Amino acid sequence: MTKEIMDYERCRKEFIRKVDVDKEKIKSMIKMANIEQGLIAEVKLDSNSASKLVKDYYEIIKELLIALMLSCGLKSDNHECLISFFHTKYPNYEFEANAMHDLKNVRNRVSYDGYFVDEDYIKKNKLEFNHIIDLLKKLIDDVPNMGQTD
């Protein structure tokens, strides 16, 4: 049984706070995500690398969610709330929010329970993970005052 995406109202009350938008930090986070995305594209998928790739995809998406929240002047102390924020702010991307939530759950099993991911999971989801990464970069760029103006 998979847990549901955390309630955004709870996140807003308990874990999210307003912060100043830091454009340089956001640009740096996007640059690092691009580097990481390029590196994982070079990794040969096999039974030994699949679990590491899950962790890497999750880290890229998590960092971009942090950058997206930061571009909106918000910061969360809870990773669950990153996905909750996305799910609430961008309701047209229900599928992507659920894919991120599933990835988070699989990554947690890898990191905390010693679970090994079957390489088929990566084969089935790699395109979706890359789509989510590209979508998050676009959404960050679309936030008012965040677009490439310089």
Name which of 116, 127, 3, 11 is nearest 65 in CA terms: 11
The pTM of this model reads 0.93
pLDDT tens digits for range 52-109: 999 999 999 999 999 999 999 999 989 999 999 999 999 999 999 999 999 999 999 9
| CATH number of 8-142, picked from 3.40.50.300, 1.20.120.330, 1.10.599.10, 1.20.1740.10 | 1.20.120.330
Q: Rounded distance, CA 5 to CA 132, Å?
A: 17
3-state helix, strand, coil in the chain (%, to 5): 70, 5, 25
Contact call for residues 78 and 15 (beta carbons, < 8 A): yes
Tell me the three state secondary structure of residue 115. Answer: coil
Q: What are the sequence ranges of the domains in the chain?
A: 8-142
Q: Rounded distance, CA 133 to CA 127, Å?
A: 10
Which position has the higher pLDDT, 19 or 1? 19
Beta-ladder partners of 75: 17
